[in-house]
Amino acid sequence: MKRRKSLAKYGIYPQRFLPAVQPQEVPKDADLDHPSLYFNHELSWLDFNWRVFYQALDTRWPLLERVRFLAITANNLDEFVQKRVGGLKRQEAAGVHSLSPDGRRPTEQLDMLRRAIQRMHHVMTETWERDLKLALRDEANIVICDYADLTKTERKKAEAYFNDYIYPVLTPLAVDPGHPFPFISNLSLSLAIVMHHPARNTLHFARVKVPDIHGRWYRINSGKKLKLLPIEQLIESHIDKLFYGMKIDSVYAFRITRNADIRRDEEEAEDLLEMISEELRERRFAPVVRLEMAKDMPLATRQLLLREMELHEDDIYETDGMLDLSSCFEIANLDYPQFRYERWEPVVPKIFVQSDPAKEMEDIFSLIRKRDILIHHPYESFTATTQRFIEEAANDPHVIAIKQTLYRTSKGSPIVKALIRAAERGKQVAVLVEVTARFDEATNIEFGQMLETAGVHVTYGLVGLKTHCKITLVIREEEQGPRAYCHIGTGNYHAQTTRVYTDYGLFTCDPAFGADAINLFHYLTGHAPDQHYNTFLVAPRNMRQTFVDLINQEILQQQKTGTSRIVAKMNAIDDVLMIRELYRASQAGVKIDLIIRGHSRLRPGVPGFSENIRLVSHIGRFLEHDRVYYFHNNGEPIVLLGSADWRRRNLTDRVEAIVPILDRKLKNRLIKNLEVALQDNRLAWDLAVDGSYTQRHQAEGEPEKNLHDVMMSNSLKRTQGEVPWDL
């Protein structure tokens, strides 16, 4: 409890987080565009990261999973600083004075973010140094040690390791008139060394990059204990070997973050692939936007770093402890199963299981012809369903064409291998590889080139639009003629993330869906911006307006029957136009439940504006990633799923696909899953009108309702026949 009280100074209380900035009071006569009705986008994202961080404090989770949540928080913050802080600094430098929906200019937002990020830095470090390190030592015999803590024998072994594996790859870079200040790569850990020449009595500076080729930690098995020494301490303890003849005065760690928000003009590009490749080169040398350093770094060294990196004091983030907590992923991945989640293996849906081993296995296309199939990852296997679909398509002699969008995928992707195999067998294969997927650009370019070499028709996205939809189209020659089979998903074709991200995938051979999928791919690979769709909601073509129409339909039904309801589950919500429509629906009395994992500009519970809107966020073992939309429609529910959130970038700046669920049983299954999420009392956080998030807890005598546990249990029951596979 003492630790919890110590965190109260940061606005952190048990199971509750206060917003970094209190929202304004909403005037009674405000219109729906009034800034007080909208939370700040950037601060709301930080609120999300606080909810992730809280899992590192929650002792109900296994110890190494708490360490993992700390690493996730740190990694999330790194990306946020690169993209969002970098983007705001670029706007500030360009003299942008336009207001955000909550009424703030870029400079004002930067000031707020600096304070909020400093707060997060301090709390993460404090939690690591004063809580998790001690818990690792006391509960798991994992000792995070300093070099001074090693025995003589351990130091000898450490020195041998340094000499053999570390010393040869170090590159000390001096700074003097003959050696300009070295280039420092993004998110790299460095040592700033100040030394003097004893004979000449001259002061010198050098930088040494801490190599990451062998990881962050040097491991020492000490009886029943595992000792982990940060590699930078091993380097520091032998730093004199790099500078023989010099006297070392000080060694301090620092780390920089560069701007990843590079402005590009796709309309002017002659070659999108070449432009993205050039952007990747530019990003290496992009301006530094954050400097993390040891709190006690000498003033002269600090000023040197600020001057050389063209930074201001406000860009410094002091740390009283270890830099770069994202390296805690290595600790979280240690083979200590007693301190990890109980292993979960995604089940194979019963419809995909061969019922009679004596018979030949039924192909996946005949399964889809029987009826639409809904898959829910990571509860149900990606390998046995989606991957099987693409691999069978590649091998099936009756398949004549495969078309797919690839936004992100895994290294050594079985999907890419199957597509290459299909092309080599003479099938028509077309793949849209999105080369502007942030931080995956280089990987996607490599995959695209591999596919092209194999004879796949590859396109690299549309000018001015990111292609974010998740869809595969297979054309198969059958007795009645060619038939289109589709997979439409809410997540990427990524074998690794499907074990962690919750996502849905729909398999169908409905002719209307097939026709829309064909039209969509013609749009993606050709020129057809006004393409027509009968069932698909496609952004930016018709998706926004269709959602607005569905909301308006609920408003009209509310006026007639008083029973209207909307439930929407997505990653984030920030589109002002959609939020305004939800406020209108709330004012009309429509009950609205929003299940939003990440950030929200929407402010629920404002009297007269959004008192009929509830917003809940789930943070837990799996990352909630699926997008599902449910409209009551006077008892004839409309349920849709797909790739798009209600964010401006999804509805306006990306190609997205949302599809209606037509099968009644599958529709009911999705509605039931939404209700399970709304009833959760373990992972759920409720957003209040003041911007605070409060974690739910079960009432006395009430059973725990953990969304992820319920979904895992239901998947097992479906596999074992206790529940029909489509419910």
What amino acid is encoded at 389 in this protein? F
In the sheet that holds 316-319, the strands lie side by side as 173-175, 202-209, 189-197, 247-258, 288-294, 316-319
Distance CA(572)–CA(115), nearest Å, equals 23
On the CB side of 343, how many CA atoms lie within 13 Å of its CA?
5
What whole-number distance in Å separates Cα of residue 260 and Cα of residue 279? 10
User: For tokens 């074709």, what's the residue?
Assistant: 493
Count of CA atoms in the C-beta half-sphere (13 A) of 278? 11
Q: Is the CB of residue 10 less than 8 Å from the CB of residue 123?
A: yes
Q: Which amino acid type is present at position 223?
A: G
Beta-bridge partners for 192:
207, 252
Q: Which residue type does 328 have?
A: C
The radius of gyration computed from the CA coordinates of the chain, to the nearest angstrom, equals 27
CA distance 363 to 227: 52
Q: Which amino acid is at 494?
A: H
Nearest to 279 by CA among 297, 265, 292: 265
Q: 335: which DSSP letter?
A: S
Rounded CA gap, 456 and 425, in Å?
11
Output the six-digit token pair for 617.
């966020």
**Distance separating alpha carbons of residues 493 and 434, to the nearest angstrom:** 13
Start-end of H helices in 616-723: 648-652, 664-679, 707-719
The Cα 445–Cα 460 span in angstroms is: 8
Rounded Cα gap, residues 201 and 204, in angstroms: 10
Q: Which two tokens stand for residue 239?
A: 């730093």
Residue 73 CA to its chain's centroid (Å)? 11
153: how many CB neighbours lie within 10 A of its CB?
A: 10
Integer Cα distance of 614 and 685 in angstroms: 11
What token pair was written down for 518? Answer: 């064909």
How many beta carbons lie within 10 A of that of residue 486, not counting itself? Answer: 26
Active site residues: 468
Contact 684, 618 (CB under 8 A): yes
Query: Could you tell me how far CA 489 lies from the centroid of its own chain?
Result: 17
The backbone torsions φ and ψ at residue 643, rounded to the nearest 5 degrees and listed phi first, read -95, -5
Asked if 642 and 468 touch (Cβ cutoff 8 Å), the reply is: no
Q: CA 489, CA 503: separation in Å to the nearest integer?
A: 7
Residue 349, preceding peptide bond in cis (omega within 30° of 0): no
Q: What's the CA angle centered on 49, arms 47 and 50, to 5 degrees?
A: 65
> With contact defined as beta carbons under 8 Å apart, do 380 and 715 qualify?
yes
| Other Cβ atoms within 10 Å of 214 Cβ, number | 12
* Rounded Cα gap, residues 338 and 141, in angstroms: 12
Residues 6 or more apart whose CB falls under 8 angstroms from that of 416 comprise 406, 409, 447, 450, 451
Q: Which of 519, 582, 592 is nearest to 552 (CA)?
A: 582
